[in-house]
Amino acid sequence: MRNESIPYKIYLSESEMPTAWYNLRADMKNKPAPLLNPGTHQPMQAEELAGVFCDELVKQELDNDTAYFDIPEEIRDFYKMFRPSPLIRAYRLEEKLGTPAKIYYKFEGNNTSGSHKLNSAIAQAYYAKKQGLKGVTTETGAGQWGTALSMACAYLDLDCKVYMVKCSYEQKPFRREVMRTYGASVTPSPSMETEVGKKILAEHPGTTGSLGCAISEAVEKAVTSEGYRYVLGSVLSQVLLHQSVIGLEAKTALDKYGIKPDIIIGCAGGGSNLGGLIAPFMGEKLRGEADYRFIAVEPASCPSLTRGVYAYDFCDTGMVCPLAKMYTLGSDFIPSANHAGGLRYHGMSSVLSQLYDDGLMEAVSVKQSEVFEAAEYFARTEGILPAPESSHAIRTAIDEAVKCKETGEEKTILFGLTGTGYFDMVAYEKFHDGKMEDYIPTDAELKISRDKLPKIDV
Ligand SMILES: *Cc1c(COP(=O)(O)O)cnc(C)c1O
């Protein structure tokens, strides 16, 4: 029911935007396990990481104690082009579902890159520029991260080299062209440009690539090119830190109207949007000030939290990156080729992995046909065409709202709508034509990549 005192969209003014990012790790009793050197298995030191990442980002990555990092004014100015993002009350969706639940979503798709990834892209590009670097390298899967980074690099006049997972490079030519419009160079991965790319192609000829493999190529390119560093769009703790703007804004907006969510839901690929959305709420839970239910939603075809193991693993297929302790399917895991719904990464942020292991967060997995059903339902009621990734969160938000209908509970649900789906119409087409299959890996299949996890004694 429409409550006249609560608008459809809760906007904040520029002056209400956060001036500092919140580092959830500062409030965690059990800190995420440290990154390990892949050769020595010792915790990575700042000097070792400095060859791969910009100095300021290394500091942010290793800092488990500082609760707030000031957002530099230049970054805040860039944010003002597309932030604060609206917090929307899904009145129409509630009405259509006939649920007593109150549903809110934080919409991050209001920028050309079409997702939340720009929040971290501008931060990472800014620190690279400030360090006097020439450029950055990265990987991109579906293309949102590459697009966000090219926008940020164009703005700051930095060179941007993107390794794009080959199947996406071929299936999403428009994404590729958007990146080139912003001046990035885009290479399909695996490529013959790097040693690791050549090795992967020799071992798996005809492979359509994976995120893990593209990461290896981008890292190799960065460490072998003078004046370049590598940047990553998810998984790392620094990315979760930057994405805390999502949660901080959402909390300010809800607090303005005295609204307290009962359930907070986000899709989880590498964990950055979810980690950012839940950050200030989880902080309250960790400090014993409030309680919330947090739900991570992942695809049934790439179920890192729900079916993976909590162990040290490589972040990439080429095994060049530091080892991270996380819920993982094994760095060798590549989701089935007919999986079209995004969120294809084999592992999960070590911050979220620790919170999940400590029982502070729940996780569910959903099948892609059900995800697209939810996406279409949402598009027809709320108007926004959601990204398939975001639609995982929509699916679970709807499921929770339907449960409220059955029990009559008036719960307040907040979910993250991470982006728009304009470049995902091939996947929508498959769904509309009834050609979308739900491939769920068997235990035996998952065991193959799990058996290849590195053996670490810590
Ligand atoms: C990249 C992406 C995701 C998943 O990444 P996380 O790091 O898990 O947030 C979700 N939604 C959209 C629209 C994306 O582009």
As a whole number of angstroms, the distance between CA 163 and CA 185 comes to: 9
- Cα 403 to ligand 1 centre (Å): 26
Q: What is the model's pLDDT at position 295? A: 98
CA-to-CA distance for 73 and 60, rounded, in angstroms? Answer: 17
Q: Is the pTM of this model over 0.85?
A: yes
In one letter, which amino acid is 320? V
pLDDT of residue 1: 60
Answer yes or no: is the C-beta of 413 below 6 A from any ligand 1 atom: no
CA 406 to centroid of ligand 1, rounded, Å: 31
Instruction: Give the DSSP letter of residue 218.
Output: H
Q: Are residues 184 and 57 in the same domain?
A: yes
CA-closest candidate to residue 297, choices 330, 341, 331: 341
Q: Residue 171 domain-assigned?
A: yes
Give residue 6's identity as a one-letter amino acid code: I
**Is the beta carbon of 140 within 6 A of some atom in ligand 1?**
no
Tell me, yes or no, whether 264 and 222 share the same domain: no
Could you say which residues of the chain have pLDDT below 70? Answer: 1-2, 4, 458
Contact 44, 36 (CB under 8 A): yes
Question: Which of 108, 118, 144, 348 best tests ligand 1's pocket when mutated (most atoms within 8 Å of CB)?
Answer: 144
pLDDT of 5 reads 83
Assess whether 105 and 146 both reside in one domain: no
Q: Is the CB of 419 under 6 A from ligand 1?
A: yes
The DSSP output letter for 100 is S
Q: Is residue 296 part of a domain?
A: yes
Which of 112, 234, 237 most suits a substitution to test ligand 1, by most atoms within 8 Å of the C-beta? 234
End residue of a domain, out of 194, 218, 237? 237
Provide φ and ψ at 301, rounded to 5°. -85, -10
Residue 273 CA to ligand 1 center (angstroms) comes to 6
**CA angle at residue 147 from 154 to 153, to 5 degrees?**
20
- 295 and 379 in a single domain? The answer is yes
Closest ligand 1 atom to the C-alpha of 273? Answer: 9
CA-closest candidate to residue 12, choices 282, 257, 283: 257
Q: How many CB atoms are located within 10 Å of the residue 227 CB? A: 13
DSSP symbol at 422: G
Question: Is ligand 1 within 6 A of the CB of residue 234?
Answer: yes
- Is 132 in the same domain as 249? no
Judgement on whether residues 345 and 205 belong to the same structural domain of the protein: no
Q: Name the residue range of residue 354's domain.
A: 9-17+84-114+243-450
Q: Are residues 124 and 109 in the same domain?
A: no
What's the CA dihedral at 319, 323, 329, 333 to 10 degrees? Answer: -10
Residue owning tokens 């046909």: 369
Evaluate: CB of 176 within 6 angstroms of ligand 1.
Answer: no
Q: Which atom of ligand 1 is nearest to the CA of 235?
A: 7
Closest CA to 161 of 193, 131, 139, 194: 139
Spatial separation of the C-alpha atoms in residues 76 and 113, rounded to whole Å:
18
- Relative to beta strand 362-366, strand 293-299 is parallel
CATH code assigned at 54? 3.40.50.1100
**Residues with Cβ within 8 Å of residue 6, at least 6 apart in sequence:** 89, 257, 259
> Is the shortest distance between the CB of 194 and ligand 1 below 6 Å?
no
Statement to judge: residues 215 and 339 lie in one domain: no
The pick from 178, 273, 345, 350 for probing ligand 1's pocket by mutation, whose C-beta has the most ligand atoms within 8 angstroms, reads 273
pLDDT of residue 338: 78
Residue to mutate, 175, 178, 343, ligand 1, most ligand atoms under 8 Å from C-beta: 343
Q: Is residue 93 part of a domain?
A: yes
Cis upstream peptide for 190 (omega within 30°): yes
**Are residues 188 and 266 located together in one domain of the fold?**
no
Q: Is 124 in the pocket of ligand 1 (CB under 6 A)?
A: no
pLDDT recorded at residue 458: 63
- For 341-374, give one letter per residue: b (16+ CB within 10 A) or e: bbbbbbbbbbbbbbbbbeebbbbbbbbbbbbbbb
User: Is residue 77 assigned to a domain?
Assistant: no
262 found inside a domain: yes
Provide the β-strand partners of residue 164.
Answer: 140, 188
Alpha-carbon distance of 84 to 343, in angstroms, equals: 25
Q: Ligand 1 within 6 A of 365 CB?
A: no
Whole-angstrom distance, CA of residue 136 vs CA of residue 222? 7
334: left (phi over 0), alpha (psi -120 to 50) or beta: beta
Question: Looking at 187, 220, 237, which one is the last position of a domain?
Answer: 237
39 C-beta neighbours (distance < 10 Å), count:
8
Examine the fold and report which residue of 210, 237, 264 is the final residue of a domain before the chain moves on: 237
**Rounded Cα distance, 266 and 275, in Å:** 9
Q: Which atom of ligand 1 is nearest to the CA of 243?
A: 9
Residue nearest to atom 13 of ligand 1 (CA): 419
Cα 268 to middle of ligand 1, angstroms: 7
**From the CB of 268, is ligand 1 less than 6 Å away?**
yes
What's the first-to-final CA gap in the chain, in angstroms? 54
2 assigned to some structural domain:
no
Q: Quick one: 164 and 52 in the same domain?
A: yes
Q: Nearest 5°: phi and psi at 43?
A: -55, 135
Cβ–ligand 1 contact at 273 (below 6 Å): yes
- Total domains, the chain: 2
Q: Is residue 4 part of a domain?
A: no
> With contact defined as beta carbons under 8 Å apart, do 51 and 62 qualify?
no
- CB 117 less than 6 A from any atom of ligand 1: yes
* Ligand 1 in reach of 418 Cβ (< 6 A): yes
**Any residues with CB less than 8 A from the CB of 40 and at least 6 apart, and which?**
none
pLDDT per residue as tens digits for the range 76-115: 999 999 999 999 999 999 999 999 999 999 999 999 999 9
Q: How far is the CA of 137 from the centre of ligand 1 (A)?
A: 19
Same domain assignment for residues 293 and 433 = yes
Q: Is residue 455 part of a domain?
A: no
Spatial contact of 113 and 78, defined as CB atoms under 8 Å apart: no
123: enclosing H helix or E strand:
helix 118-130
- CA nearest to 330, candidates 356, 309, 351, 353: 309
Domain match, 164 and 259 both: no
Quick check: CB of 144 below 6 Å from ligand 1?
A: yes
